[in-house]
Structure 1
Amino acid sequence: MYIAIEGVIGVGKTTLARLLAERLGAESLLEVVEENPFLPLFYQDPVRYGFKVQVFFLLSRYKQLLPLAQPSLFTGGVVADYLFDKDAIFAAMNLSGAEWDLYNDLYRSLAPKIPTPDLTIYLRAPLPVILERIRRRGRVFEKQMEPEYLARLHEFYEHHFATYPHALWTLETQDLNFAELEADQDWVVRQVQERLAQKTATPSAS
């Protein structure tokens, strides 16, 4: 079992990944955003640091997800708080010209080696909700983000998942509190279990 959770910054990916991993007896695979030394600089000067921040994230995510190609290493399954596609979504928004071409060549050479999740959960929420969650989280470099940047990022996510070809559940989170409310936690876990069961019961095309 491999579940990936996606959505814009601050939508609740890590919170849900930890919850599902605990409830499903799986291992959580969490992105370590703070390890990227270029990220605070990127929010100050996106044009100058865009390529550096994206390549760092690409290689970091690749190294973290590559072991999933050996399922025997994760007997209880894995719940990740990001999808490998995430890197290309951000890069498409932040890079252009020769930098985008070089990045895209690197991405296309690495992506086929990463397994496809059994289920991808795409979390959505209105922009004011996202901004409030970011404020509560308190990461200093995220406070520099403009609402316009998040709105544009949302558009890129919507475009990506409009044609996503794999098992996908789009979850509206504005009225859910799976960080604290047990009823919401139980509901989300049941929904995930049902979708995984449906996928297992569906015969593969020959």
Structure 2
Amino acid sequence: MPNSFDFIAIEGVIGAGKTSLASLLAEKRGARLVLEEFKDNPFLPKFYEDRERYAFQTQLAFLASRFKQQQNMMSQDLFHDFTISDYIFEKDRIFARLNLDQDELALYDNIFNIMTGIAAQPDLIVFIQSSVERLMENIDNRGRDYEQHITPDYLKELNDAYNHFFYHYSKSPLIIINATEIDFVNNPDHLGYIEEQIFEKPIHSNMHIHIAP
């Protein structure tokens, strides 16, 4: 029997391809697509220019936006059987721990802990892993001006934080894709294999599946 989900979340570091994969899967499977509204965060370009100065404002703006989306996501959609999103709410704290100082993080956590208990919980998470070199290449190729301030050092910090987070993650079944050598955007066979693992293969509550070429 094909797998049945209400909510699938695609996750990964900046440039990993999570939005692309979420969009492709939603189109192929007729799912409601919920994408992170990063363009609406007025502090994001400033953050990449000066992390220390703008981290707290950027983080709170993302927290509010993501929580609002989560609430809308939990409402019934009469036109789609399930939802695919390109983030999970809990990922917000990965960035917070990386970028906020101790006092800012304490204040942030007070707000985050209230919100996280009532945010949507995915039935499955697909985590896209990639090398820093591949991430930098993808960021350069998509050409967003403000992302040109992202450094390899920051991406490595973020990559390590994501890997640590999902290594210890146990709230949802988790599929891990090693995307350093995979091109699910331009190679239909790669996309088809990922789609098969998600929707056709047995998935249990405590299993991690690694997909590599």
User: TM-score surpassing 0.5?
Assistant: yes
Amino acid at match of 2:36: E
Runs of at least 4 residues off by over 6 Å:
none
**How far apart are residue 68 of structure 1 and its match?**
2.8
**How far apart are residue 4 of structure 1 and its match?**
0.5
2:43 corresponds to which of 33, 38, 43: 38
Which residue of structure 1 aligns with residue 146 of structure 2? 141
**How far apart are residue 73 of structure 1 and its match?**
5.5
Aligned partners of 1:31, 1:198: CA distance in 2, in Å? 26
* Secondary structure in structure 2 of the residue aligned to 1:113: coil
Which residue of structure 2 aligns with residue 69 of structure 1? 74
Structure 1: tracts of 5 or more residues without a match: 201-206
Aligned partners of 1:93, 1:158: CA distance in 2, in Å? 13
Deviations 1:77-128 (A, max 9, x none): 1110111111110001000221110001100000111121010011011111
C-alpha RMSD of the superposition: 1.6
Aligned partners of 1:193, 1:101: CA distance in 2, in Å? 40
Aligned partners of 2:150, 2:203: CA distance in 1, in Å? 39
**How far apart are residue 74 of structure 1 and its match?**
6.7
1:29 corresponds to which of 25, 34, 37: 34
Are 1:180 and 2:183 matched, yes or no?
no
Are 1:192 and 2:198 matched, yes or no?
yes
Aligned partners of 1:124, 1:72: CA distance in 2, in Å? 31
Is the contact between residue 23 and residue 189 of structure 1 (CA under 8 Å) also seen in structure 2? no
Aligned partners of 1:81, 1:9: CA distance in 2, in Å? 11
Amino acid at match of 1:55: L
**How far apart are residue 47 of structure 1 and its match?**
1.1
Deviations 1:158-188 (A, max 9, x none): 1111110121111101221111111111111
Aligned partners of 2:78, 2:108: CA distance in 1, in Å? 30
Which residue of structure 2 aligns with residue 13 of structure 1? 18
Amino acid at match of 1:4: A
Amino acid at match of 2:184: F
1:131 corresponds to which of 120, 136, 140: 136
Deviations 1:45-97 (A, max 9, x none): 11111000000000000101112333456742111011111111000100022
Aligned identity (percent) is 38
Structure 2: tracts of 5 or more residues without a match: 1-5, 206-213
**Which structure shows the higher helix fraction?**
1
**How far apart are residue 198 of structure 1 and its match?**
3.3
* Secondary structure in structure 2 of the residue aligned to 1:28: strand
* Secondary structure in structure 1 of the residue aligned to 2:185: coil
- Matched positions, count: 199
